[in-house]
Chains A and B, each alone.
Chain A
Amino acid sequence: MSSIDMKQFHAVFFEESQEHLEEMEQHLLEVDLQHPDAELLNSIFRAAHSIKGGSGIFGFDALASVTHIMESLLDKIRQGKLPVTAEYIDLFLSSVDQLKAILHCYRVGSDLDWAGVHTITKKLELVTAGQNSQPEETDGSYGFFTEVEAVTQSEDYGFFDTEVDDGFGFFDEVVPAESIGAAPASAVNSDLHNFIDDLLPGDSNAQSPVETPLIPVSAKSNEAASENKIKSKASEAISVESSSIRVDVAKVDQLINLVGEIVITQSMMNLLGKSFDGALGEKFQAVANELERNTREIQEAVMSIRMLPVSFVFNRFPRVVRDLSAKLGKKIDLIIEGGETELDKGLTEKLVDPLTHLVRNSIDHGIEPADVRQACGKNPTGTVTLKAAQQGGSIVISISDDGGGLSRERILRKAREKSIPISDNPSDAEVWQLIFAPGFSTADQVTDVSGRGVGMDVVRRNVQALGGRIDIESEAGKGSVITIRLPLTLAIVDGMCVSVGDQTFIIPLVNIVESMQPKECEIKTLAGDDQLLLVRDEYWPILPLYKAMQLEPQFTEAHKGIAVLIEANKHHFALFVDALVGQQQVVIKSLEHHYKRVQGVAGATIMGDGSVALILDVESLAAKTPEIPLSLAS
């Protein structure tokens, strides 16, 4: 029994430590060497301290030992006994990496890299020992009033460092509500004594001179106005702490599932209500409408639980850019915009790899070396911009750089070398698409950063697996923009309902170009049974859905039904169905959960009447049609 309980605590500890490490890394990158921000250093220290505390309790010795040394060194720095230097920051960053590795080992239960642990401990020890200051006790032994002195001594000490030591716990325990409001106001250490007086036990809240309301959590801005930064950071840290709970994702998913059921039941009830007549029927309708509104709101609220700000993904990139630019000897500014845009948790996790790849590409291939940039009359420091924004039902993430842009000639040359089929006079857009071909790389030299050409096709596949699209725009000498368009959530898809025989199918709307009733003269029959549809001088192969799904259709001749023009991957085809039923948002349900994967089917959903409709997987359907490049056909 007890071992199970410990395991539960372990999971929480791992989660929290991971967060602390990420926070530490982020703060380390923010540290301004000229004007180190005390609150920032404190946060770093706090994070190290929390990890140390937890790992001590659970007996994760490697974590504890590394964080312990880090903590002592950090303590000296934050007390101003040591200067903040780039070397220290680098050392701390590599320590964070090592800690992450250790944490991972503990988490998956694999063997620790003790050699790595010892190296980093040695390094930290050397640095610590190199400074001839006496060791300091950091835990708990401080009395309250000595700490007050310490606070008053150091100029820009934030008030909040007192909460660092578990031994005090004084302020938070007394009046937490007040200390939240008070923190920003006390950033400057005027009136510090008054302030502390106010916090003494027995003092009522009303007497406090700082009745400041809670400072709203400000989005992490990159502005360097240090005064503001301290304030927003302090209030942010606290309000996040007090207002969030940790919930198992499975519970949230179950909730989403159940709400989906309510929505379906509700729409069934609505249908039923329409058959009631008279005054009672009207009343029923009014109530049903009210219920509909409420369920919709519940659904939105529940879906929003799974939403995370994109900054969860973006925040790792300052580090990536810092390391890479140092390695490649390029100067690069990273600008992050729209980090507060929210995205489904499942999506954010799967975005990390493709985005990392694209950012690395931008830095390695996109941004030119500083001397080249200067020769072109550009700012020697390159700029990479990561941007996220919501546009209707989708999230658009773009990675842009002000580098050299894609080289049309080089891509075409490479394509010919690899004998990738290309038309005689391809448009720019078609040329850019070529870099998504497997094994394609235009980098003159293969580096350990990029250039092996395994990347872009994987990136595109990952994005498509998320139901998204990826586009490239590029201009020689000006730079390129790569845009990823993703659905808001994984659980819901905007779809077009079509019918074949007595069954309904859903086609994801993103793949639909247009729908039309073809004329008999527009349909050309090829050898065999294959048919082509001529739309505005382009031939689209026709795929009858009834054949793919083995059904008895209403119509077998394409001109009697509807042709839905579909674009998927590199394929274009016209899906021939009986009729269009309507456009609808549907909740994606897994077929594999109780059955298995079915070719041509991405999943299933439950319609308003409770019946099951299959969601088509256009990618795999596309594989059934002959590939005819549009340009060749015309």
Chain B
Amino acid sequence: MIEPAGVLQDNQEFLTFTLGEENYALDILTVKEIRGYERPTKIANAPPFIKGVINLRGDIVPIVDLRIKFSVGQATYDEFTIVIVLHIHNRIVGMVVDGVSDVVSLAKEQLRPPPDFGVAFNSRYLLGLATINEQMIILVDINELISSDELGLFDKPSEADASV
């Protein structure tokens, strides 16, 4: 039986990835696929962290670089740059990361509350912290982050009217 929607169920699986020097993790169920970085088509008047759009088998998918948005590490692109393609609220978004490391299973007890400072992300977008192999991993609430107004990836009705 699946538990009703809580923040974290027992032994949920997470995909860990790196941005700069920091280790992050996100709910693996939101991941559609992982692919190499390809140069996207630029979009006019988009904020710098939106790199553009790519063709994902017929879908036009935006690519965001959170390293630029949250000033983590260096926003460089080489053959090792990875895009995690996320499936969130029926939309597809690609997220540039420096590397994907592992899939880990975490239990509720392993989770600590997120700090209010010291992390690039606003604690609103964090689920908590966990330690695996003496490494601190920051659990990102990816649904909250991607659909946030701060990223502005999704059209708000008022915005759509204003841009006419």
Nearest-neighbour CB distance to chain A for B161, whole angstroms, equals 10
Tell me if B58 is interfacial: C-beta within 8 Å of chain A.
yes
Contact A257 B46 (CB under 8 A): no
Stretch at the interface among A5-13, A14-22, A607-615: A607-615
Contact B44 A593 (CB under 8 A): no
Contact A550 B62 (CB under 8 A): no
Nearest-neighbour CB distance to chain A for B45, whole angstroms, equals 6
**Residue among A258, A260, A598 making CB contact with B45, cutoff 8 Å:** A598
Stretch at the interface among B12-20, B75-83, B151-159: B151-159
Tell me if B108 is interfacial: C-beta within 8 Å of chain A.
no
Tell me if A503 is interfacial: C-beta within 8 Å of chain B.
yes
B residues less than 8 Å from A586 (CB atoms)? none
Residues A598 and B43 in contact in the complex (CB < 8 Å), given A592-B155, A593-B91 = yes
Cβ-closest chain B residue relative to A610: B55
Residues A597 and B60 in contact in the complex (CB < 8 Å), given A612-B53, A613-B41 = no
Contact A599 B60 (CB under 8 A): no
Nearest-neighbour CB distance to chain A for B121, whole angstroms, equals 22
Question: Measured between alpha carbons, how far is A503 from B53 in the docked complex, in Å?
Answer: 12
Q: How large is the interface on B (under 10, 10 to 19, 20 to 34, 35 or more residues)?
A: 20 to 34
B residues less than 8 Å from A595 (CB atoms)? 43, 53, 60-62, 153
Q: How many residues of A contact B (CB 8 A)?
A: 30
Contact A600 B55 (CB under 8 A): no
Contact A594 B62 (CB under 8 A): yes
C-beta contact mask, A248-263 vs B, less than 8 Å → 1, else 0? 0000000001101100
Question: Measured between alpha carbons, how far is A59 from B40 in the docked complex, in Å?
Answer: 55
* CB-CB contacts below 8 Å: B77-128 with A: 91-93
Contact A594 B61 (CB under 8 A): yes
Pick the most buried of B44, B153, B163: most chain A CB atoms within 10 A of its CB. Answer: B44
A residues less than 8 Å from B53 (CB atoms)? 591, 595, 604, 612
Tell me if B54 is interfacial: C-beta within 8 Å of chain A.
yes
Residues A503 and B62 in contact in the complex (CB < 8 Å), given A261-B57, A595-B53, A606-B55 = no
Chain A residues engaging chain B, CB cutoff 8 angstroms: 257-258, 260-261, 264, 503, 548-551, 589-601, 604, 606, 610-614
- What are 23 contact pairs spanning A and B, CB under 8 A? A258-B58, A260-B58, A549-B42, A549-B44, A550-B45, A590-B60, A591-B53, A594-B61, A594-B93, A595-B60, A596-B154, A596-B160, A597-B155, A597-B163, A601-B43, A604-B41, A604-B60, A606-B60, A611-B41, A612-B40, A612-B41, A612-B54, A612-B55
Closest 7 A-B residue pairs measured CB to CB? A596-B155, A612-B41, A595-B62, A549-B44, A604-B60, A261-B58, A606-B55
